[in-house]
């Protein structure tokens, strides 16, 4: 793709992703995953959703790529046993617990990516101000509970809509719930991000500790 990957856009110091574009890109990704899960003829679990596998086209539209680890679901099949596949930091807990994998594994990975889009940093960083900030999900949840979401965004992000920021954080925290059944479908993720439906407050999760 002509404009590289989302990883390059988020994590390179010389790049600057203005705030209003972050929600648009998050929705692009969510719609792409929804297509894989529900709209294509053979439903697909991507199994490796991460910024490196999201490419930006000439119009800066996010496109999901790299289906080398993807799992195809047979008609009427909603879950599958499969060996662990994916990238550390983006793997849902069920991959490690030897239980059936569903599309909710991709929802978890999307939640991690959404946090990275919000904060413009990777899900684990050692070059941070305090140890509380090393694990992104834990730090975001602490900021959410303390009502300090302004800490999550760049100092030069003057146009941040704090209501939209809170909504995106809540959606991400729902997506990374440890229990797959608690995670929303990608359709509901889109509705929440668009503001079509309310986004309730997410419960605590082991992922946040």
Long-range contacts of 15-19, Cβ-Cβ distance < 8 Å, separation of 24 or more = 16/156, 17/117, 17/120, 18/157, 18/159, 19/153, 19/157, 19/159, 19/160, 19/161
Catalytic residue among 48, 106, 155, 178: 48
Give the closest residue to 92 by CA, choosing from 201, 181, 180.
Answer: 180
Q: Hunting for tokens 């617990």 — which residue is that? A: 97
Q: Hunting for tokens 């692009």 — which residue is that? A: 28
Q: Count other C-beta atoms under 10 Å from residue 91's C-beta.
A: 19
> Can 48 be counted among the known catalytic residues?
yes
Contact 206, 108 (CB under 8 A): no
Catalytic machinery residues: 48
């Amino acid at each position: 793709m002509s404009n590289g990957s989302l990883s390059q856009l988020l994590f390179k110091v010389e790049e600057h992703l203005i705030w209003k574009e972050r929600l648009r890109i998050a929705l692009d990704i969510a719609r792409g995953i929804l297509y894989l899960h529900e709209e294509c003829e053979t439903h697909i679990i991507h199994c490796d959703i991460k910024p490196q596998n999201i490419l930006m086209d000439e119009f800066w539209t996010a496109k999901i790529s790299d289906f080398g680890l993807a799992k195809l679901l047979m008609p009427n099949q909603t879950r599958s046993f499969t060996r662990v596949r994916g990238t550390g930091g983006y793997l849902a807990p069920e991959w490690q617990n030897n239980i059936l994998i569903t599309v909710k594994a991709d929802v978890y990975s999307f939640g991690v990516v959404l946090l990275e889009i919000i904060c413009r940093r990777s899900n684990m960083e050692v070059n941070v101000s305090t140890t509380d900030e090393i694990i992104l999900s834990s730090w975001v949840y602490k900021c959410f509970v303390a009502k300090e979401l302004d800490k999550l965004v760049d100092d030069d992000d003057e146009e941040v809509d704090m209501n939209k920021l809170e909504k995106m954080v809540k959606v991400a925290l729902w997506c990374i719930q440890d229990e797959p059944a608690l995670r929303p479908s990608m359709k509901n993720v889109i509705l929440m991000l668009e503001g079509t439906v309310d986004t309730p407050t997410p419960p605590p999760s082991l992922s946040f500790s």
